[in-house]
Amino acid sequence: MELSSVFKMVILSSATASIIAIIILIVKKLFKTKLNVTWQYYIWFLLIIRLIVPSSFETPISKFNMAAVTERVEISQSLLKNSNNQQYNTQDSNKVSKVKTEAKSDLKETKDKDFKYYFNIASIVWIIGVVLASVVIFLINGLLFVKVNKQPICKDPNTVKVFEKCKSIMKISKFIPIVYDRYAGTPALFGLIKPKVLINPDLINKLSFEEKKFIFLHELSHFRRKDVFTSWIMIFCGVVNWFNPIIWFSFHKMWEDCELACDAYVLSHLENEEQKQYGKTIISLASFVSRNKWIPGTTGIINGESNIKRRIIMIKNFKRTSYKWTAIPICILVALGMIGLTNSPTKATTLKNEGNLLQTKESKENYVNIVKEFLPKNSNIVTTETTKEADNVFVKDLDNDGKGEIVSAYKLAGEDEKINVIVLKKTGKSWAKILDEPAEGYKIESVLTADIDGDGKDEVLISKRVGGTLAQLSVYKLKDNLLNKISNEDVQYSKLDILSIPGKNSKAIATWMHDTGEAYIVDVLKWDGKTFVPAQDLYDNYFKQSVVPYYEQKVKTMPEAGFYWYYLADAQIKAKDKKAALQSIEKGLSLNKGYPSTKEFNKLKEKVVQ
């Protein structure tokens, strides 16, 4: 999976989680005096679940179905889509877009490309942030782990006796040592697999029997409630969503509620008089550990002064668990869970609104089987890491008879650098092979039809992907149920446009050859009977309507990139706007970025002044 796809999934999950977090905060505010502290803490787990479950199950009532909006990221930067269901606007001249429409389409694509470019940068920034935050957190925790393992274990019989009594109250049998740590700002539980209670020896010597009991009960309640594990989940989710302040604020509030829920759990094991003493212990500890710093993966009885007042009020007003309002939070949890943690039934909607989609998929499987019947032994339909056989079988009406022909590619065993293009046509009730020839590349890029020679019949344009951003176009003509190659030379491109020739029935092509960044070398070509040749008579309109707007957008978003100014100037020259071209050249020269060189800019300048 590409990094940008992972980042997109994180963004969608984070956005949905933010909505859930806001709803939780509102619910907590409305039912502040009605819900006990345990419920106020548990409700936060909806946020945790939303963040760690990228793909949710489906229900009809989900309102936050962002997962339904999907985007297929193509390896190719071509304008063409590798889909059998898409028809190019070259079969009928009346269906060919007008020049203004083409320009708008190009501008839209430009914006889409710009968005993808910046989104990829954002993805890289995001993963760098994740890595850096993870390194810092695990480095801090690792150093603490090493340090703690070097510290002495408490063997004071009175302290150990109190601790064992507290374990008995909490019904804990696991061995948990008390470790002396002079750097521990507050008593804390540390360790996920082998937990330890950290405590400053200077502090423990000042504590009474009851104060030790309350501190140990608090830390053991964290162990009993698996709060260390929860804290690591929060840390993980926080690191992944480091860019989202709503998530971080929510986790801060969640941990405050965790401490209150922990206090409530301890209080449920104490008598009424002991509950008051527990509150006094927290107050005295707060004054003693005023400089305490939070360490990832630890749970301490004092994790900051901001929540002390709220905890003391809760302790003062603590009552045994009441079930009077239990039904309300349960209903809230269920409602939020169904709305926020599920996806809408996109599959059912698709089948209802796109009735032919399922039929198309079923047909493609049939077409795959048909192709396999014509393959030689020890060969297979071409596949890649991201595509399967059905993705490399194209169905296209090549001769406008209303029936689809099958175009595919296969690879012989041992042939890694070459493929064979195969085309099948149905005659009556049987299929026949009308083309089977070797070709360079590793998959079919696109299958198009266009009347490039003006004879009133469409030629077949088959492109093969030969490199990361490079495709190769061959031209074929269907005659007597055979598909014959008529192009002497293949045309290479990264992106391709098919355009009308004014006053003629034939079509021309515009090739965009990738250079650097999002810059392309653009040319307009027309058919001369054997191959494609430059069509300078078509430069004016095409460059004015398509290429110039593209690079104007580029220099607007990246004004310091000299190569965009160079290609903008070149496009303006071909669009016969020499004044604007000269301004672009001067701007590019002033940047002095090294590529293109000053010499290349001056060559363009010579074209302007000629």
**CA separation for the pair 452, 547 (Å, rounded):** 22
Q: What is the 3-state secondary structure (H, E, C) of 457-499?
A: CCEEEEEEECCCCCEEEEEEEEECCEEEECCCCCEEECEEEEE
pLDDT of residue 433 exceeding 60: yes
Of the segments 63-67, 457-461, 521-525, which one has the largest average pLDDT value? 521-525
Q: Are 499 and 509 in contact (CB under 8 A)?
A: yes
Alpha carbons 12 and 19: distance in angstroms, whole number: 11
Q: Which two tokens stand for residue 372?
A: 């396999």
Nearest CA to 511 among 526, 524, 499, 530? 524
Q: Is 450 helix (H, G, I), strand (E, B) or coil?
A: strand
Over the range 85-105, which residues count as b (16 or more CB within 10 Å of their CB) and which as e?
A: eeebbbbeeeebeeeeebbee
pLDDT, one tens digit per residue, over 98-108 is: 344 444 444 44
- At residue 76, what are phi and psi to the nearest 5 degrees? -70, 150
- Show the domains of the chain with their CATH numbers: 76-96+356-493 (no CATH), 151-245+259-306 (3.30.2010.10)
* 240-275: pLDDT as tens digits: 999 999 999 999 899 888 888 888 888 888 887 788
Q: In the chain, what is the greatest distance between 2 CA atoms, to the nearest angstrom?
A: 103
pLDDT of 321 higher than 70: no
The H or E element spanning position 219 is: helix 209-224
Quote the CA–CA distance of 424 and 509 in Å, as a whole number.
26
Task: Note the residue count of the chain.
Answer: 610
The answer on pLDDT for 429 being more than 80 is: yes
Residue 429: CB atoms within 10 A of its CB come to 5
Mean pLDDT value across the chain:
80
Model confidence over 58-115: pLDDT tens digits? 444 444 443 333 333 333 333 333 334 333 333 333 333 434 444 444 444 455 556 7
pLDDT of residue 296: 67
Inter-residue contact 85 to 395 (CB < 8 Å): no
Helix H or strand E encompassing 99: helix 99-149
**Percent of the chain as helix, strand, coil, to the nearest 5:** 50, 20, 35
Q: Can you tell me the mean pLDDT for 546-566?
A: 92
How far from 319 is each of 258, 310, 323, 486, CA to CA, in Å? 18, 15, 12, 89
Q: What Å distances lie between residue 206 and 159, 203, 305, 596, CA to CA? A: 12, 5, 21, 75
pLDDT tens digit string along 115-162?
778 888 999 999 999 999 999 998 988 888 888 888 888 888 888 999
Tell me how many degrees the CA angle 595-597-602 measures, rounded to the nearest 5: 135
Q: Residue 164 above 60 pLDDT?
A: yes
User: According to the 3-state scheme, what is the secondary structure of 494-510?
Assistant: CEEEEEECCCCCCEEEE
Look up the pTM and report it.
0.51
pLDDT of 344 higher than 50: no
Cα dihedral sign, 580-582-583-587: positive
